[in-house]
Amino acid sequence: MTDRAHSSRPTACLALADGTLFYGHGFGATGQTTAELCFNTAMTGYQEIMTDPSYAGQIVTFTFPHIGNTGVTPEDDEAADPAAAGMVVKWDPTQPSNWRTTDTLSHWLERRGRIAIGGLDTRRLTRAIRQQGAPHVALAHDPSGNFDIEALIAAARAFPGLEGRDLARDVTCLQSYRWDEMRWAWPEGYLPRTGPGHRVVAIDYGAKRNILRCLASAGCDVTVLPASATAEDVLALKPDGLFLSNGPGDPAATGEYAVPMIRKILDDTRMPVFGVCLGHQMLALALGARTVKMNHGHHGANHPVKDLETGKVEITSMNHGFTVDSQSLPADVIETHVSLFDGSNCGIRANDRPVWSVQYHPEASPGPQDSFYLFERFAKAMAEAD
């Protein structure tokens, strides 16, 4: 089965492991890559999505057709390099029209070595992902339009998938560093935090820069440690609180070394602990719960989440293909948030200590400020623990 969105010769091909082929126009880098295919429903933020380390091992299908029309700017990078392996869009990117832009999306992708394909029926592709689950795919871009279809399908079938894979090691920092940049504010932009603050150790499983900015804006003096940091590494910095960041891959695989560290912190201290996304899953595992692979995950900026303790509904940004099994939560761990799309777990807290986490991204501002209270809660818990 094939899909041709243009009458001209295709220069890119997306091959699914089941043999389905989608042809289109390639842009960005040339070559071939394999990954798991997901879809994202956000209407803005394509650059932030491509540079979110949580997308390692994935190609992103954008359901919103206008991708690339605002160009790119270094201010919007969530990491030094894109983590997503490639992108799929309906319409080829147009010339950017935005006062902040410094480059076109196509050139930016080319410089960063990421392949993209345009001209696809993304509605049909998204339906297939929802019905059949996130497929393994191979994406090729060749300006001459020469494709070895059998080899592409074989490459898609050979992709190992995300289950059992610890991808946090691939995206984490190599050494510790300090962070003081706060959230963007008009007209100054990004300003540094000054003065004393709560000492926070942030474990980098694939941390987005804007999460660190939100911590700084909440009055935190942030030191970032690699994903493999031990409890001794954390405690040596005498922190007031521990933050567990977002990240990619199978939480059970990352948990093999991350969970023992978190458990020791929980056993030996009473410091506040706050986790987001993969950090939420790491905390849940440390508290005794399980995680499971989802059919196609949650990826977008329009996900309604209900706070079960207040009744408040937040519009959130999400990016996860694994979820905490709420049925596995121990008796002393309370489920605090659930997705109103499918009822899956979106937040937990310990019953007897200031330890909590959420599955969604409170820093991503889809609400736009529905979830910033979580960073303020973290700062308040540290202040009360002093």
Residue 322's alpha-carbon distances to 122, 230, 284, 297, 302, in angstroms, are: 23, 24, 12, 7, 18
Query: Is 220 known to be catalytic?
Result: no
| Strand 220-226, strand 273-276: pairing | unpaired
Q: Catalytic pick from 36, 48, 314, 363?
A: 363
Query: Is 335 known to be catalytic?
Result: no
SS3 174: coil
Give the sheet arrangement for strand 291-307, strand by strand.
177-179, 220-226, 198-204, 241-244, 273-276, 355-358, 345-350, 333-339, 291-307, 313-324
Of 27, 23, 9, 8, the closest CA to residue 92 belongs to: 27
Q: What distance in Å separates the CA atoms of residue 130 and residue 120, rounded to the nearest whole number?
A: 17
Q: Catalytic pick from 38, 220, 277, 346?
A: 277
Q: What distance in Å separates the CA atoms of residue 192 and residue 194, rounded to the nearest whole number?
A: 6
| Strand 58-62, strand 31-40: pairing | parallel
Q: Catalytic pick from 198, 298, 320, 361?
A: 361
Q: What distance in Å separates the CA atoms of residue 336 and residue 377, rounded to the nearest whole number?
A: 14
- CA 292 vs. chain centroid, Å, equals 17
Query: Is 346 known to be catalytic?
Result: no
Q: Is 210 in contact with 362 (CB distance < 8 Å)?
A: no
Q: Which residue numbers are catalytic?
A: 277, 361, 363
